[in-house]
Amino acid sequence: MSYQSFASFYDHLMAGAPYDQWLTYTKQKLESRGKLIRNSAILDIGCGTGEMLVRFHAQGANQLTGIDLSMEMLSIAREKCEQASFSPLLLQQSMAEFEAGQQFDLITIFCDSLNYLEMEEEVQSTFHLLSQHLKEDGLLLFDCHSISKIEQFIGETYTDVDESVSYIWYSFAGEYDYSVEHELTFFRRGEDGRYDRFEELHKQRTYPIKTYEKWLDDAGLKIDAVEEDFTAYQATDKSERLFFVCLKKE
């Protein structure tokens, strides 16, 4: 999914996203290993419009790279970063095939971006590439929907009405086990007061925790923790969001 029309609405719709919680979580995980954001080379995969890159920079990080499949998202990210007076390396790539040209102290994939990979082979390829791009003492943090969360989406309809942007979001069962498809219709008000309509289809898929654990192990990554939604509690397949903390195998 390249978020073609969605990019222009993304920040409006994600105004309540827990970016600051992701930042706090990241700082805690780094500091527990005696590291700081400002001293780390950081890769943010699925960087979207650059919200985490801006926050990492505000913490003193100056070795920042962002990867996203959508050129539209990256264009917005670049504008934000320029306004904050820094210029990270931004790459338009699929996370299943990315090449960033260096290794990193920290790699993050937040906001269930991993769930947009439709095929098992893509997830496995991503994990192998993450292992290759992680320094020996590096840290990988990513979150994803649980099986339970994917199942909760199915059959649900979400709506929001705003003066400038409104949407209808309908979710239904996907083609594969533990998958969902989101049919989104947006209405954006123009200067003339008329509304333009945009439609997109987003697909997400997840897997049992044990499957993720096996694939990470196969890729040479050691799981330090699988936690439940910004807590230190051990996650299960019934948790809503799974947070994986991974290290490179010695």
Spans of all domains in the chain: 7-145+207-248, 149-205
Asked if domains 7-145+207-248 and 149-205 share a fold, the reply is no
The SS3 call for residue 38 is: helix
Residue range 72-98, pLDDT digits in tens: 999 999 999 999 999 999 999 999 999
Name every residue whose Cβ is closer than 8 Å to that of residue 196 and which is 6 or more positions away in sequence: 187, 188, 190
Rounded Cα–Cα distance for residues 46 and 1 (Å): 11
Q: Is 85 exposed, middle or buried (0-12, 13-18, 19+ CB in 10 A)?
A: exposed
The predicted pLDDT at position 59 comes to 97
CATH superfamily for 149-205 is: S-adenosyl-L-methionine-dependent methyltransferases (2.20.25.110)
Strands (E), 69-220: 89-92, 104-109, 134-145, 157-160, 165-173, 179-189, 195-205
For the whole prediction, is pTM greater than 0.85?
yes
CATH number of 7-145+207-248: 3.40.50.150
Contact, 148 vs 159, CB < 8 A? no
Q: Which residue has the tokens 């790459």?
A: 91
Contact, 88 vs 65, CB < 8 A? yes
Stretches where the chain sits below pLDDT 50 are: 1-3
Residue range 9-36, pLDDT digits in tens: 777 777 789 999 999 999 999 999 999 9
